[in-house]
Amino acid sequence: MPQRRLRLGMVGGGQGAFIGAVHRIAARLDDRFELVAGALSSDPQRAQASAAEAGIARSYADWGEMAHAEAARDDGIDAVAIVTPNHLHAPVATAFLEAGIHVICDKPLAISLAEGEALAKLAREKNKLFALTHTYSGYPLVRHARELVENGALGEIRVVQVEYAQDWLAEPIETSGTNKQAGWRTDPSLAGPAGCLGDIGTHAYQLAAFITGMTPSSLSAELHAFVPGRRIDDHVQTMLRYSNGARGMLWASQVASGAENALRLRVYGTKASLAFDQENPNELWFTPLGGTAGRLTRGRVKSAVAAHATRVPQGHPEGYLEAFAQLYKDAALQIEALNAGQPLPAESLLLTTVDDGVAGLRFIDAVLASSAAEGQWRPIEPG
């Protein structure tokens, strides 16, 4: 057990935001972090009010000032959680890494590949943690699925089908001026050049890569905006080729009427297939070639990686917040090791990192290029 709770700061996530509150719950769930400082909004009054609501003692009006002030304190923060709109991820992360503070950042990593690569380099130079919160890799059964593939239970992978469907942007809600989420996520100056692609396409891409252990070598893609006047894509579809000969498809859409948060993956190998549905994360389907579909449940799989990511006994559903908390738990293990100059604990190594973020940005770049060229096949720059 840790000797003390790690001190966490937060940038972004003030009133009206969604993901900041999720990070706060996730960070506190396993009692490894206490939230002590924040620059929760660029509006000083809102920052102060948001910090008070979240029980955060030190509120800053400016994240640059927060990085300096916290680095100078004996009881300054160990890590910062960055939950701002995408365009601020790189500048904020740079300031905190420069100040010697570990970083936990929401996805996508940055708004360009160059920014992402610079962050990866800086984190390595400073020897600081840079965790990227690809939530869905925190599920016990996602981790178990990865292990099944790694142990050869599926044979050679042939087909990867991944989709992420939501409907919350099916109408032009960003024009109301009152929906903060929709406002920044559909504004290219804040979200970057990728809309649905960056917001949820990167989750689908990361999930497929995490479970299969493979990233595609090339793709053919189309980005589309269904909602008239929308300045950014709200739908993406891609075909994928892998260097082992496997083929895949990835589509993500935020205009899929009726879909809530339907992130689904199917992987077919020469010996068996598996299927995972994020909306039912306590089960995983495994079906051998010519055999009967098997429903694996979180509480019953014999798996150390799943056990490490589990909190309550079999039959008691765990979900999104626990998956998110798992990333914070693994981050805490790594921060403690880094602070003590020790090797990272083996059980924490499935934590998604800045390199996963860079891979996501390479995917975004290839999709943007292919879509602009009417779906021409484009290489995905190797990592």
- Which residues of this protein are in contact with ligand SOE, per CB under 6 A? 18, 135, 166, 199-200, 203, 261
- Residue whose CB is less far from ligand SOE, 135 or 220: 135
- Residue whose CB is less far from ligand SOE, 135 or 273: 135
Classify strands 157-165 and 262-269 as parallel, antiparallel or unpaired. Answer: antiparallel
Nearest one of 120, 97, 133, 141 to 331, comparing CA atoms: 133
SS3 232: coil
- Residue whose CB is less far from ligand SOE, 124 or 231: 231
Minimum Å distance from CB 166 to ligand SOE? 6
Q: What CA–CA distances, in Å, run from 188 to 20, 89, 147, 223?
A: 21, 14, 38, 14
- Give bridge partners of residue 272 from the DSSP assignment: 288
Nearest one of 368, 364, 329, 324 to 349, comparing CA atoms: 329
What stretch of H or E contains 131?
A: strand 130-132
- Residue whose CB is less far from ligand SOE, 116 or 269: 116
**Residue 23, number of CB atoms within 10 A of its CB:** 26
- Residue whose CB is less far from ligand SOE, 66 or 204: 204
Minimum Å distance from CB 293 to ligand SOE? 27
Minimum Å distance from CB 28 to ligand SOE? 19
Separation between Cα atoms, residue 183 and residue 317, nearest integer Å: 33
Minimum Å distance from CB 254 to ligand SOE? 6
- Residue whose CB is less far from ligand SOE, 164 or 286: 164
Residue nearest to ligand SOE as judged by C-beta position:
199
- Which phi and psi angles does 323 have, rounded to 5°? -60, -40
Minimum Å distance from CB 331 to ligand SOE? 17
Separation between Cα atoms, residue 146 and residue 151, nearest integer Å: 9
Nearest one of 234, 226, 237 to 161, comparing CA atoms: 237
Separation between Cα atoms, residue 109 and residue 131, nearest integer Å: 10
- Residue whose CB is less far from ligand SOE, 37 or 165: 165
- Give bridge partners of residue 130 from the DSSP assignment: 103
Minimum Å distance from CB 200 to ligand SOE? 5
Minimum Å distance from CB 215 to ligand SOE? 20
